[in-house]
Amino acid sequence: MSFRTSPPPQLASDEYADVLSEVKSLGNARQHDSYPERTLIGKFWNGNIQDFWNEIGRRRCTAQP
C-alpha cells in the first residue's frame, strides 16, 4: 500500500518522549502561551462534532423546497 504511515516510535526512545511532551503541552488547559487560533480550534472540537453535522443533515433533509 502506498499510503501507509510509518510505525510509531519505540516507547523507550527519545523521539517518543519528545512527541509525548509536545502533546501534553498542547493539551494543557492551563497553558498561557497558547496561540489564539489553537484555543478556537480546541473549543470547536471540544463539542460533540458529529451531532452538529447530524443536525445540519437532518435540517437539510426536512427543509421545504
Give me the pLDDT at residue 31, please: 65
Give me the pLDDT at residue 18, please: 94
Give me the pLDDT at residue 34, please: 62
Helix, coil or strand: residue 16: helix
- Residue 52: count of CB within 10 angstroms of its CB: 11
Helix, coil or strand: residue 32: coil
pLDDT in tens, the chain (65 residues): 678 888 888 999 999 999 998 888 776 666 666 678 877 877 777 777 778 888 888 898 988 76
Please tell me the distance from the alpha carbon of residue 54 to that of residue 44, in angstroms, as a whole number: 16
- Residue 42: count of CB within 10 angstroms of its CB: 13
pTM of the predicted protein model: 0.44
Give me the pLDDT at residue 32, please: 61
Give me the pLDDT at residue 13, please: 95
